[in-house]
Amino acid sequence: MRIVIIASRIAHRKWLRKYGTAIGFLGVVLLFWALKPTTFMTLPNWLNITQQVSILCVVAFTMTAVMVVGDFDLSVGTMASLVGITAASLMKSGQPIPVAISVALLVGVLGGVVNGLLVAYAKLPPFIATLGTLTAFGGLALYISGGNTIYGRAIPQAFGQFGRNGIPLGSIDGRAVNLPNLTILSATVFAAVWFTLEKTVFGRRLYAIGSNAEASRLVGIRVRMLKLLAFAISGLGAAIAGLMLTSRLASANPTQGDGLMLNAIAAVFLGMTMSEQGEPHVLGTLLGVLILGVLANGLTQLQINTYIQQILTGSIIITAVLTGSLSRRRS
């Protein structure tokens, strides 16, 4: 009898550990629904939320790849700014949109490769290496733009409209409802990263490196090359996010992406609370981003003081991660 009770307790704890964050998220959603019954749980508001988090999603999904191998990338925010400025400058100088996008994506991948070389081959700690590139990319964005915001006619209408438009779904109360292009784009990136990390040999090797890099090397996994590729993925994600941001705001500011980095890391950590071993998975990251996005949306609708919002969001991140790590330690 006693064994059965203990076994059931352990199963209960395991279940709670795995789904605790998701349950907490559900609780927050229900709370907002109850307090704002006419505006929160509506299709337009949820489509809005998906659009609002789409840019952070792309950065966080691709950052997950770097965190899977046990590193992290602090430079994604300034890289997004740099890519936005690069694309906007090219468009301003009359280059066609596809050229501007291609060069901008290339800049992102190259930045990621630089990070990868510094961490995997030069053996710099990722904190130092990406802190250095964070500063350098930010400086480069300011240098290229002369500190100015590029906006107005410099951004072609087709490019600026993409981030605001979507596929028409019909209308509610006389207002058009669209599935935002940015939501579709971030869903595509989600599918690609999920497939790469969870369903390919490459992905499984990344997890192996994250779990034990030395053992992985001994069994013949090319640890350095795979780490470099993980950073390249992160750089590419930051570039896509930078382009999305420039399109959504129809402007490029040399510091506009800088805030993405901390939120992306927070989202991955929130997502890690959902896994048994505490390793990052892109599905968990999605939940992490949604938690941040729903909190920002709901708390704004409840007219909660903007500084109190920050305190609440920070406390919720700490509570979730602490609950996850404590329950793992106990078991």
- Contact residues: another protein, CB under 8 A: 12-13, 16, 20, 24, 27, 31, 35-36, 39, 42, 44-45, 48, 52, 55, 142, 146-149, 151-152, 160, 163-164, 175, 245, 248-251, 253-256, 258-259, 296-297, 300-308, 312, 316, 319, 323, 326-327, 330
The CB-of-312 to another protein minimum distance in angstroms stands at 8
Measured from the CB atom, the residue of 206 and 244 that comes closer to another protein is 244
Measured from the CB atom, the residue of 95 and 327 that comes closer to another protein is 327
Measured from the CB atom, the residue of 97 and 249 that comes closer to another protein is 249
User: CA-to-CA distance for 9 and 261, rounded, in angstroms?
Assistant: 38
Measured from the CB atom, the residue of 116 and 293 that comes closer to another protein is 293
* Phi, psi at 72, each rounded to 5°: -150, 165
Measured from the CB atom, the residue of 24 and 111 that comes closer to another protein is 24
Residue 237 near residue 282 (C-beta atoms within 8 A): no
The CB-of-25 to another protein minimum distance in angstroms stands at 12
User: CA-to-CA distance for 248 and 254, rounded, in angstroms?
Assistant: 15
The CB-of-88 to another protein minimum distance in angstroms stands at 12
Q: What type of residue is 248? A: R
User: CA-to-CA distance for 32 and 17, rounded, in angstroms?
Assistant: 24
The CB-of-313 to another protein minimum distance in angstroms stands at 12
Residue 270 near residue 288 (C-beta atoms within 8 A): yes
Give me 274's structure tokens. 């959902």
User: CA-to-CA distance for 146 and 225, rounded, in angstroms?
Assistant: 36
Give me 329's structure tokens. 């330690």
The CB-of-318 to another protein minimum distance in angstroms stands at 11
The CB-of-34 to another protein minimum distance in angstroms stands at 9
Q: What type of residue is 307? A: Y
Measured from the CB atom, the residue of 184 and 249 that comes closer to another protein is 249
User: CA-to-CA distance for 67 and 265, rounded, in angstroms?
Assistant: 9
Strand partners, 179: 167
